[in-house]
Structure 1
């Protein structure tokens, strides 16, 4: 690539940023400029690249910077050793050296290109000597911009593929032919949906058509990499946009097949065109209830809460459709899917539990539950109670305003009862009134399975009757033991 093509900026308005390039350069950390001086003195190039440049234009600059250089990894280590506060080499096999300087984390990667063998899950890394070639192998034009360091003049801004214009248009487009880009790294197809969810961008038609044609190729990518992209997507500002792209492109059929299957199912109340649309609305409503940023577990539970419906669909008399026990089946399916995607065990367990419990409230009616039933609801939810509140409220998508208001008021009533009982009894810490040692002393037995059975009996009694006092608990325990032939 010629130098003139390499350094040309994006077209004029509307792509030209409102703030002059030199002002934008001043927003780049002085530490990055200082390191650029050091590399130049050692005879090497260094440039701010990719998302770090994109985010400067978006006003989202953070404490993590991506840099690229013609220096090989071993040479990078030599250059930064005496300058950095700390260095790590966990990514050195892929050409990346990590550096911490002050409050900044910098990843310095040697110019490279990545390509996948059609039968391999791991990229092959080849180093290069040209910034232009490095940018040509980037995923999207908005990430194929660079700023040569230290940035001194407009020519140091490098935008050979019109990334700045795409940024202004909020569109994702590959630097070269999309087929080549996705063949080099199929994960880029999924990354397009992730960026759409994070930034609210769309995918240009030729790029989207390439995704549709090549969707099956995502299957060579490791589960860990797919999980990372899906997790970022669902925690983005616009997850519905990203999920829609996954389904419409055919990618979801390979990475989250439960989602497109929901399109085929009409829900039991005929409220929506399909369960898929209902699910997206529930996700959006759950997000609206978040209090302090994206809630990973809540969002995944909202997305997967009805995935058991296709397997439990039954046609009933009168043309109705039922999905009995879909919450139980869905919990098992959620656990299986998230485990296969290598999610942490605690996330898998929490999401599956919320899916299992999301219909429990509907047995509450207009407040018929006894205090015992309320205690069990709280105990079964455990640390997920607040999320269960949010998921249950989000799951109301009826267009009947009177019905929606009635459901909301009923749940308000349940929460008020939970709060009252919690204040009286510390519901979150419910335990039998006699512990294991006391059970053994009263019954004159040692450790063993009988103690566990007695403990369960006392716990059930505690949930049913509340606090009855230790004397009454002991009397009940003795009566139970006698009935068991002990």
Structure 2
């Protein structure tokens, strides 16, 4: 590798400052890992720097925090022997070079001070073990003991040491291997891939939070199906998302089959990823068919049906999110809503679809209508171009109708013009079931187009419905 080119990667004054601080303390230091890998791949400079010190990383961090211009917040984590310095938009992590050894009865390593070579040995992959010297005499020198440069050139994910040992020691590395293969569009080396499948069940000793952190990075990649297929093939997916595995397979009855909903789902996730970076919309694509295995039926003369799979799937979402330690807030509710409504737009694709149906779709979807339409369009995975174009044209018709009705009736995020307080005041009523009945009647009448979305019309309808219930409006 061209030495002059490598030196340009550490030409920023910050690297000179770090090296000089280490020299003053009589220790060696190196920038290692993601920054080096991404510079070599021309993926930008990044905002995270990992600095390995053959000595005390904490002491170097303290000195660097004072030496850099401006205010540079310092955080020290004595229990882990690490420190962090924030400088502008950079986060610089300092750690002493370590040597790790594992006991057979524990995944927690015995840690002791080590050399740079020891530290590189404990790295997950050869492409992450690359280091550039920052100290005097080594400044700008690339240290590559495992030929990571060649793996970068060839697009290979490989462990520095025996893969089975590497993955058994820290099973999260299996998820990281898949994540890097997905993000970088690299291949996992054959021996390493076999070791992942052999060690897959050890993933269960890793916390769901750490697994989901890696999984979400896979989901946010440009083409998530690369990672999802690898997770399936190595049996990692089986350990934490069996609901997806249940989608796999094709049944045949009387010569009639249905599509393999697992591989269909992966296509849908890729399709939606072309049009949105919203992680939770991508999750909705991943889970949009999870209700199908439990609703699948073969009806003679009709074929395979999955009636109600959207409703069942939406009911499964909260339990699944809770188990995986995913957020149980508006993000989960968005996924649940999109799964539940994933077939709704298909009901209004015909030319004779009523304004009422469009109003209800807008009312129920609210601000999430665009994500819902993107999901529905992503769900088109037919290889028949004529069919695909017809479906897309139908959804374009739905989009046009949505715009037309929204401009006319202002239904999105709409609240009826009459609220409960006005109903109680009009009929001199305390809170009770009649209030809810009248409110619902007004809402349904507006959605069905019986009355316009206007105050005076809604007020007249309120009095009419209240009178039908035997209520008497107060004299004005």
TM-score by length of 2: 0.90
Name 2:6's counterpart in structure 1.
24
Q: Among 390, 396, 401, which residue is 2:385 paired with?
A: 401
Indicate whether 1:305 and 2:309 are aligned. Answer: no
Q: Is the 8 A contact 2:289 2:309 kept in 1?
A: yes
**What CA distance in whole angstroms lies between the structure 1 residues aligned with 2:209 and 2:99?**
21
Q: Is the 8 A contact 2:362 2:402 kept in 1?
A: yes
Indicate whether 1:458 and 2:414 are aligned. Answer: no
- Change in Cα spacing, 1:472 to 1:108, as seen in structure 2 (3 Å) is same
The structural deviation recorded for 1:434 is: 1.4
Name 2:426's counterpart in structure 1.
442
**What CA distance in whole angstroms lies between the structure 1 residues aligned with 2:470 and 2:64?**
76
Number of aligned residues: 464
Indicate whether 1:52 and 2:9 are aligned. Answer: no
Name 2:221's counterpart in structure 1.
236
Name whichever structure is richer in helix by fraction: 1
Name 2:205's counterpart in structure 1.
220
234-243 vs 73-82, which moves further: 73-82
Structure 2 runs not aligned, ≥5 long: 472-476
Name 2:360's counterpart in structure 1.
376
Deviations 1:263-318 (A, max 9, x none): 2246999898511221121122212223xxx2212211112211221122212215
Name 2:264's counterpart in structure 1.
278
Q: Kindly indicate whether structure 1 or structure 2 has the higher relative contact order, using CA contacts under 8 Å at least 6 residues apart.
A: 1
Indicate whether 1:470 and 2:455 are aligned. Answer: yes
Q: Is the 8 A contact 1:47 1:69 kept in 2?
A: yes
Name 2:159's counterpart in structure 1.
174
Within a 5 Å distance, the mapping from 1:427-438 to structure 2 comes to 427-438=411-422
Runs of 4+ displaced beyond 6 Å? 115-120, 267-272
Indicate whether 1:329 and 2:315 are aligned. Answer: no
- Change in Cα spacing, 1:238 to 1:127, as seen in structure 2 (3 Å) is farther
Q: Is the 8 A contact 2:3 2:140 kept in 1?
A: no
**What CA distance in whole angstroms lies between the structure 2 residues aligned with 1:288 and 1:109?**
39
**What CA distance in whole angstroms lies between the structure 2 residues aligned with 1:118 and 1:448?**
66
Indicate whether 1:339 and 2:322 are aligned. Answer: yes
Structure 1 runs not aligned, ≥5 long: 1-15
The structural deviation recorded for 1:108 is: 1.3
**What CA distance in whole angstroms lies between the structure 2 residues aligned with 1:473 and 1:40?**
79
Q: Is the 8 A contact 1:301 1:355 kept in 2?
A: yes
Q: Is the 8 A contact 2:17 2:67 kept in 1?
A: no
**What CA distance in whole angstroms lies between the structure 2 residues aligned with 1:56 and 1:314?**
53
**What CA distance in whole angstroms lies between the structure 1 residues aligned with 2:252 and 2:343?**
14
- Change in Cα spacing, 1:333 to 1:43, as seen in structure 2 (3 Å) is same
Q: Is the 8 A contact 1:73 1:92 kept in 2?
A: no
- Change in Cα spacing, 1:265 to 1:42, as seen in structure 2 (3 Å) is same
Q: Is the 8 A contact 2:99 2:114 kept in 1?
A: no
Q: Is the 8 A contact 1:141 1:161 kept in 2?
A: yes
Name 1:317's counterpart in structure 2.
300
Q: Is the 8 A contact 1:367 1:410 kept in 2?
A: no
Name 2:274's counterpart in structure 1.
288
